[in-house]
Structure 1
């Protein structure tokens, strides 16, 4: 039995005094010895936390006891070791960076695509009038995606709005959106509806829930996750690997960051090339004097930066003036 759990969740629910909430919530998570990454915004929460089953249970009960987060759905993974090294809980303008911050224009609590449970998505995805749309970034869908999915050439989800014009050919069809855990689809599907797409759906709980409840059927490759694991298998029905090593072209699901911090490219690399290039994407990066030590994982802990109290104070002042 695994000694730890990793929880993936989000909740669109307005939070008053969200910056103070983030500070208090960080202290609470640390009191439970949890590690992870949580984003707090005025619009809600987006988090992945990891710890013992007891700590995770207490954390989930704590959130569900709060009226604002009663409907939060947790995706639970059993893991051999915590999926993070430290605990971060930060206030940001959005819980997923989209550039769509005005709730009068896009508000997942008012309008999104129709939610499909994993089994419903499985039964619907191969219909003739259906388009499966991956709303994630390149590095995510390169390591794994649904069979026959339409993917977008984007480096970050904030580029999604400008790519909608490339989807005009699919108007009139059923659009099934999906992402890792569902959070990006909330805004992506809402924006598609706003732009005139009439029949829009989203995979409830994302790829992770689909793997747990529908066996991950026809998801090719692995699912990128935002923690130490980097990617996880989800398909227990007809698994495959679709990503290839950047350096030699061999099939591999392993994704790393270049050991040269100046480059820091996120890419797939097989173990053989990893050791040969010492965790770098190229010979040039391998010779960089700032190159980090490669331990075979290609995962590097970010060095925490000092808190900019002046910046926080200015932001709080702007909010007070606005209100």
Structure 2
């Protein structure tokens, strides 16, 4: 019997005094013994939380009882153990950083792409006049993406507005956007509409819901998630592996953190290279005297580390994501 669940959700709904809400909400989550990461902004909530089945039900009941978040749709996964170590709830300017000088330029509550249920997305995605657009970051679509999807070279969603000009060749086509749980598409599709694209759609509930309701058909690889699981399987129809080891190029779905705590970068590495490199991304990191002991998992509890210039430069490589939380 399943003892734990992980909930992925978001809701665009105005929150007055978001900072106080975040503080109070953190204490509420702790009272339920939940762990996870939640971003609170004046525009709404964006979170992933994990705990017992009973605690997760209590949390969902409370969210709906609030009244402001009745549009929330929880994606629920059964897990063997909680998907986080601690509980964080932080107030930020946006629940997904849009990269706009004035974030109020777009409001998903007023204008966004047409929501497509998974079965409708599946029916449309291969039509001749359709372009399937992945609005996620490099490290996400490198490990998994829809077949024939258009991907953008971005390290963070805040870079998306600057990339829209690269999509000019697709004007006049139907643009089907997708992301992990749907939250990025709310803003991506709104931005596309603002820039004059007319037929813009989004996969409602994202890849996670598509996996549950459409079997994940034609999603190649695995889906990156923002918790300790790192990646999850979504395709039960025609699964495949598309990601490769950062060190040797061999196909692998395993993503780890570098054993050098000053680096701590997140990258794909096969088991063979993992043991050979002691869980490090480079020979230099392998020689670091403070290297953590590699146990085959490549997961370590993060602790604050001094800023390292070499580490910052490494993030420019497409396999190295910036540090993110929830669905940034």
TM-score clears 0.5: yes
Residues 6 and 82 of structure 2 are in contact (CA less than 8 Å); yes or no, is this contact kept in structure 1? yes
Counterpart residue number, 1:98: 98
- The residue aligned with 1:209 is 209
Matches within 5 A, 1:73-92: 73-92=73-92
Give the aligned partner of residue 60 of structure 1.
60
Unaligned runs of 5+ residues in structure 2 are 306-328
Q: Aligned partners of 1:144, 1:175: CA distance in 2, in Å?
A: 19
* Residue-by-residue CA offset, 1:248-290 (whole Å, 9 max, x unaligned): 1211101112122333332110111111111111111100123
Question: Equivalents in 2 of 1:124, 1:301: separation in Å?
Answer: 42
- For the residue of structure 1 that corresponds to 2:68, the secondary structure is helix
Q: Aligned residue for 1:12?
A: 12
Following superposition of structure 1 onto structure 2, how do residues 252-267 of structure 1 map, counting pairs within 5 Å? 252-267=252-267
Whole-Å Cα distance in 2 between the matches of residues 116 and 56 of structure 1?
Answer: 27
Q: Distance in 2 between matches of 1:89 and 1:159?
A: 24
Quote the offset at 1:304 in angstroms: 6.5
Which protein has greater RCO, CA pairs closer than 8 Å, 6+ apart? 2
- Report the alpha carbon displacement of residue 15 of structure 1 after superposing the two structures with TM: 0.4
Q: What pairs with 1:1-323 in structure 2 (closer than 5 Å)?
A: 1-100=1-100, 102=102, 104-303=104-303
- Classify the secondary structure of the residue corresponding to 1:65: helix
Does the CA-based 8 Å contact 2:39-2:45 persist in structure 1?
Answer: yes
Name stretches of at least 5 consecutive residues in structure 1 with no aligned partner: 306-323
1:98 Cα deviation from its structure 2 partner: 1.8
Aligned-residue Cα RMSD (Å) equals 1.3
TM-score w.r.t. length of structure 2: 0.91
Deviation readout 1:89-148 (Å, 9 max, x if unpaired): 111111112223745410000000000000000000000010000000000000000000
Q: 1:163-205: per-residue Cα shift (whole Å, max 9, x none)? A: 1111111111000000000000000000001111111000000
